[in-house]
Structure 1
Amino acid sequence: MTQQSESTTGTTIRETDEPPLPSPLAPPHPPLAEPRPLAERRVWPRTFHDRLTAPLPGLKAMARFAREGAVRPGPEGLADIPRLPYAPAPLPRVDARTVAVTWAGHASWVLRIGGLTVLTDPVWSRRILGTPARITPVGVPWEDLPRVDAVVISHNHYDHLDAPTLRRLPRDTPVFAPAGLARWFHRRRFTRVTELDWWEAAELDGVRFDFVPSHHWSKRSLTDTCHSLWGGWVLTDRDGRRVYFAGDTGYGHWFSRIGRRYPGIDLALLPIGAYDPRWWLRDVHCDPEEAVRAAQDLGARRMAPMHWGTFVLSAEPVMEPLTRVRAAWEKTGLPREDLWDMPVGASRVLSGG
């Protein structure tokens, strides 16, 4: 499959799923982009529909979903809510040579890297639009957070871009956002918003923030479908340690391409929930087995599952994602200790050397 994308200059860029085989003199992976200026004002296309890797559901799919789709699990699938893993604990003490992650729930992580505290898709609200209240509390009380040095946003869906949470932040907090989303933040008086296209990067205090593709889409109102981009983030510290935050994504070719461009990913934060019914959600949400396969495509040394056990967004039983991801990981033969299947509120640390 060949895709077309439009640069900010209006030039059409063609990207194939698989690049041509490298010559013996070629570098092992494509060179990384030079970091762009922070808070740069940019002009983008009105729509990013050309970046979709699968068509959005049409009328026939909507009609089928109305007939046979399930939005929530049945009573048996909800019965395990009291068993959902929740183990809040104080944040670990870190220094600039330490990488640590704490799962606050859903796609919200407190990521400590290169001496910075970074929040990913922060949602500290009890409810989000159109969804029942969260079924596990937030794993990190807001008042226990250290100073937030940066926020990364994967896309504008309400369970990833939460206005009430972001209002708690100082308006000069650096924000890294997908192309086309800065105006949302500017309307809320954020002053240091850096929006990036796929494969672009910016740098903050020695930590590199690369925006990478995902198999997803964007929409926040009836009239803004795909008006902003969607993707994941690769954060790299001065010592070359890398954390990949996938945001929200289906399974597909982008994982192997990200792995080739960013070799040596130490930890991949990958979504494993909100996948049933499969025919409806396959293109935009990984199931647990696909998430494990994605970790292998990335060449990631470790995987931490997310995007499950916090909000009830689809029809699978609430504990099923964890059971299935553990089984899929075991089948690979990879070391059990490299699956960081953490309770909400728990932390894991990669020490520097």
Structure 2
Amino acid sequence: MNRRKLIRRVAAGGIGLAIAPSVYFYNKAENYMPTATRYTSNPELKTLLSSKEWPGTPLDQKGLFVNEEYVFWPKFADVLKWQTEKNPYKEEKKNDTSRLEVIKHTSPDVLPDNSFTWLGHASFLMKLNGTKILIDPVLESPSVLMKRYTDLPFPAETLKGMDYILVSHDHRDHCDETSIKRLAGQNPGATWLCGLSLDLLLKKWTGSDRIQAAGWYQQYFLQTAGLSIYYLPSRHWARRGLTDTNTTLWGAFLIECNNKKIYFGGDSGYGKHVGIVRELFGEVDYYLAGIGAFAPRWFMGPSHMHPEEAVRASNDLQPKNLLPMHYGTFDLSDEPLLEPARIIRQLNENKQITSKLLLPAVGQVVPV
């Protein structure tokens, strides 16, 4: 059963199943509007900006995290509207069989140093000065509703010897319990880096004491010479269940090594936060930008960028290279799997992108 049919069946199903969720979501979501009332950070980590410039990561009147620039609260009514309205891509998507190319390797050990490799969706493996870094590693299908359409470039059991594992936020296509538990077993010495309050969940899953949770514009404390990692804002939200909306923080990462800067934008709608990265760090070498899960735009726009918006953000940032991600691996929205790549190629052909556009295959080595 596909995603739309399942949700429609739940919505139109037995009264006993329908009433309780409807009442819950109406009371808890439909009538709530967050407002930033106070600010927080991790006092053990360095903050890039002064207290006058940046009071801290905003919290709303219930102590939940809230976007700095665009306040957003997910509403169940919007989900129902999306799932019951007509999808203009329906026939195209039904007949579409195009998939991402995958370049296979025996293990990460064969990949060269000072490079990074796309593992599909928002997952990346980086090797910088001999240091191994994983970002948002999702190794399989995170749920029965989220089929994986691309293989990993190498067997999951070969992902060992990781020094740092970064988790941008708690959504299941970025923070998968099975994958994290597996990686924790295979990488007992890894340090985990995440946003505020997500460390509690990671601690439960990994059993590790090597977890750091940062607020926006904070720098992680690393014991690796020549490597710096920062946690930065994104325009998004967080939730894994019915009652934990925005209890953990979402964000982006800036990784700096050998005077090279890689900006992983995470899940994000368009906002001024991307351009600010250049003001703080100077020229960025690689901008890893999400371009998928954009349709319908009225629903996805607050938390995901359409390729046109990703280009706008990239032109604000002016990186040397723009590398799109967050498409082709999971079916999360209305558009076909590779529609985001088709659109951004066209934008590049129309000379609307000021940076060099990179569209690597899954498993393709990108030198740093």
Shorter chain as normaliser: what TM range?
0.7 to 0.9
Does structure 1 conserve the Cα–Cα contact (< 8 Å) formed by 2:203 and 2:209? Answer: yes
Query: Which of 83, 94, 97 lines up with 1:81 in the alignment?
Result: 97
Question: Is 1:217 matched with 2:237?
Answer: yes
Alignment CA distance shift 1:326-1:335 (3 Å): same
Does structure 2 conserve the Cα–Cα contact (< 8 Å) formed by 1:179 and 1:196? Answer: yes
Alignment CA distance shift 1:56-1:332 (3 Å): farther
Q: Distance in 2 between matches of 1:209 and 1:325?
A: 28
Q: Distance in 2 between matches of 1:165 and 1:78?
A: 30
Question: Is 1:6 matched with 2:39?
Answer: yes
Q: Distance in 2 between matches of 1:146 and 1:321?
A: 32
Higher helix share: 2
Q: Distance in 2 between matches of 1:162 and 1:154?
A: 12
Q: 5+ residue gaps in structure 1?
A: 11-30, 35-43
Does structure 1 conserve the Cα–Cα contact (< 8 Å) formed by 2:41 and 2:215? Answer: no
User: TM-score, normalised on structure 1?
Assistant: 0.80
Query: Which of 172, 176, 179 lines up with 1:162 in the alignment?
Result: 176
Of 215-224 and 79-88, more deviation after overlay is shown by 79-88
How far 1:69 moved relative to its partner?
5.7
Alignment CA distance shift 1:256-1:103 (3 Å): same
Q: Distance in 2 between matches of 1:318 and 1:347?
A: 22
Alignment CA distance shift 1:82-1:8 (3 Å): closer
Q: What letter is aligned with 1:339?
A: L
Does structure 2 conserve the Cα–Cα contact (< 8 Å) formed by 1:80 and 1:319? Answer: no
How far 1:88 moved relative to its partner?
2.6
Q: 5+ residue gaps in structure 2?
A: 1-34, 51-59
Give % identity.
Answer: 30
1:289-304 matches, cutoff 5 A? 289-304=308-323
Q: Which residue of 2 aligns with 1:180?
A: 197
Q: What letter is aligned with 1:200?
A: Q
How far 1:161 moved relative to its partner?
0.3
Alignment CA distance shift 1:9-1:246 (3 Å): closer
Does structure 2 conserve the Cα–Cα contact (< 8 Å) formed by 1:131 and 1:313? Answer: no
* RMSD of aligned Cα (Å): 2.8
Q: What letter is aligned with 2:95?
A: A
Does structure 2 conserve the Cα–Cα contact (< 8 Å) formed by 1:210 and 1:234? Answer: yes
Q: Which has the higher contact order (CA 8 A, sep 6+)?
A: 1
Question: Is 1:275 matched with 2:294?
Answer: yes
Does structure 2 conserve the Cα–Cα contact (< 8 Å) formed by 1:77 and 1:316? Answer: yes
User: TM-score, normalised on structure 2?
Assistant: 0.77
Q: What letter is aligned with 1:74?
A: K
Alignment CA distance shift 1:57-1:166 (3 Å): closer
